[in-house]
Amino acid sequence: MITNDLLTLLAARDHEARPLHVGLIGAGKFGAMFLSQARRVPGLHVVAVADLSLERARTSLRRTGWPEEQFSAKGFDEALKTGATHITDDGARLVTAPQVDVVVEATGVPSAGIRHALGAIEHRKHIVMVNVEADVLGGPLLAERAAEADVVYSLAYGDQPALICEMVEWARACGLEVVCAGKGTKYLPIYHASTPDTVWGYYGFSPETVAQGDFTARVFNSFLDGTKSAIEMAAVANATGLLPQPDGLQFPPCGVDDLPHVLRPRDEGGVLAHRGTVEVVSSLERDGRPVCRDLRWGVYVTFEAPTEYVRRCFAEYGMCTDAKGRFSALYRPYHLIGLELTISVLRVGLRCEPTGFPTGFRGDAVAIAKRDLEAGQILDGEG
């Protein structure tokens, strides 16, 4: 029997002693979460982990349950022979290594991500781009170049853009018009002024909490001040063809039961400037009160019933809709970040199938400095 099931394909490779070989660049939070699960999947072999800090790479492996002997390989060849993992500070060397089938780029640095992707493509490696900053900067061109080289460029499953792309694909494949797609986050206008120096207070993290986790102030500040949301929605727009709204993201407060009401066009009673767009909903009301049944950690898609018959079906099967029964929504309450990344690695490596990829430049993320770079003073306003 011929099957395209991921686990069956992987089990066959494992049985034939031909594991799928993966190289990870960047051992931060996302990379560590991937490592925590990758060693639990038979037939998947993390051949190498690259990070500018060798000690950070080792610490991530130890923290996620890897026994010391499993990452003591002295080189790529030894790692391949013994099933161990090579630790290196040379990402450029990793992408050229013939022992690697799939490169996972998780540095979070745009220039490094593009450089590593180009190297991987040149050496006929599939690339899973966790680095959404690099994707928004050059993803459509990288995906085009990868296709020309007959390799796959993919967004990273577990991160919200890839999960949103999956939901958009689902809706369109069902013949439903996508009205809006996006994610939830914790948002208040005051957060625009947050900096890495103030971010932990907004999260309510104690110094002890920060010390125990893989927390980077710069990265977590980008989650809070709207930067990451803008970047991720640009990535979704570039991958799905959804067009950003003229004035950008509004971050309307909205719980899961209100998605069909809020995320519909303004002329239908919602907040959207137009159909076929992206938006991020807030888990906080503007006065700081929590939104009922918020979607802070999740993703969603809203869509419209094309006919009266479909509208009746929405009602018959208990779909949450707007008052007229025309607009409905599907949502996923959580995303598991790097814990789900093996889905991308397996689809790319076994079926040459991306979990979302950019097809053109449709969205940009605009950054505004919050400090007078000469005087070092935070500027007034929301940033």
One DSSP character per residue, 208-269 reads HHHHHTT--HHHHHHHHSSHHHHHHHHHHHHHH-----TT-----B-BGGGHHHHSSBGGGT
- Cα gap 330→218, rounded to integer Å: 32
Residue 68 near residue 109, CB atoms below 8 Å? no
Tokens of residue 365, six digits:
């993320």
Q: pLDDT digit string (tens) for 310-356? A: 999 999 999 999 999 999 999 999 999 999 999 999 999 999 999 99
Query: Residue 176 gets which letter from DSSP?
Result: P
Q: Which of 307, 177, 322 is nearest to 260 (CA)?
A: 322
E strand or H helix at 279: strand 277-282
pLDDT in tens, 71-89: 977 899 999 899 999 999 9
* pLDDT band of 377, cuts 50, 70, 90: very low
> Is the predicted pLDDT of residue 372 greater than 80, yes or no?
no
Distance between CA 13 and CA 20 in Å, rounded?
A: 8
What percentage of the chain exceeds 90 in pLDDT? 84
DSSP assignments along 318-336, one per residue: T--B-TTS-EEEEEES---
Helix residue ranges, H only, the chain:
6-15, 29-38, 54-63, 76-82, 91-96, 110-122, 132-148, 160-173, 199-203, 207-212, 217-224, 227-240, 259-262, 308-316, 342-351
CA–chain centroid gap for 50, Å, is 20
Residue 383: pLDDT band (50, 70, 90) is very low
Q: For residue 326, what are its two tokens?
A: 């025309």
The answer to pTM > 0.85 is yes
Q: Among the listed ranges 109-113, 212-216, 293-297, which one has the minimum average pLDDT value?
A: 212-216
Q: How confident is the model over 176-214, as pLDDT tens digits?
A: 999 999 999 999 999 998 999 899 988 888 888 887 777
Eight-state DSSP code of residue 291: P
Query: Rounded mean pLDDT of 116-133?
Result: 98
Class of residue 207 by CB neighbours under 10 A (exposed 0-12, middle 13-18, buried 19+): exposed
